[in-house]
Structure 1
């Protein structure tokens, strides 16, 4: 492992030639509440309420024409997977898989590609109409087609880079503040601990917000092709 500031994002720690750091991605399975209870637990009730609220919001974004029974499950699954991995990265000695492009782009690229293929094969005229916004002057139509095409092509990259950059930025800030603990006086240590607690609360909010933004943007991309 590289002994520098970015070594906390190095996924190459392994035993018996198995990269065990990537196994942290599957730890979220153990946090999913069980549904086979005679009396639902509080965790299960909270989990169900969050799912129903997100389901109603996604149903509104998809619209009555594109919404079908079960169509929001893939976006809810994506949201919970990103939230679990973001929160697990806040615990000590747990590898943050969402801080690597190989993970985030593997979520964004297949979904975006499937939406584009479905749109161009099933709704070709609709996809062509999206390339030219309404009330565009005829002289600017060719430029708008080029701009809209480039913006559509970079969507999976912007989605993955946004999530990765936010995870890396927060973790680097926590690491930088932690490394100064041995260099400051005892009186300033209390302030450092307080700042770390506030920063941890901020990172918890960022973990939820970034997963929510990822899910909403992917839902909007899906609604555009229908």
Structure 2
């Protein structure tokens, strides 16, 4: 990773992180020019924070467990005009961030979501894929948005994202982002991104329990916004 001077950073890439020391070297090496990695350590015990700091990332500590807690801490710490959210497990190619950010900068969209395209059979476990498909169906029915994936890679303008007033601190954070953005009249689009097998063992959506928790969190949000 070759850090970009803060004054030249166009996109801060927020990477919620829980025990991803093995994946971080390759992930951070792929940070594109004009971008800065913001690694949010969410209680790691494997030295992830030290690895990230040594490799030049901005490291933020968020002791409160939960994807939303870590993601929002990264958003609040970001200073670049655009913010991207991405998993820190090596499953996504950070080079795709530049392409998605280009759509926002060009005025083609206000929020761009990465639509995952697996590069191998083992990249996306069946239970996680089925859960995502069902959630996407519910989102289409609830919002009318033609979304097919609620993936972990998304890009928007920092000040606008902060203005959404996101409150979920669990797995519902990505869905809340979409729902509030749609309610605010944002233009939302999907773009294909490569999706590879993660490094190490998944702690959330790669497990049946994690997928179930994500579905429950997001179903709760959908039910609340339908009232």
What TM-score do you get using the length of structure 2 for normalisation?
A: 0.27
Comparing both chains, which one has the higher relative contact order based on Cα–Cα distances under 8 Å and sequence gaps of 6 or more? 1
Higher helix share: 1
Which structure: larger Rg?
Answer: 1
Higher strand share: 2
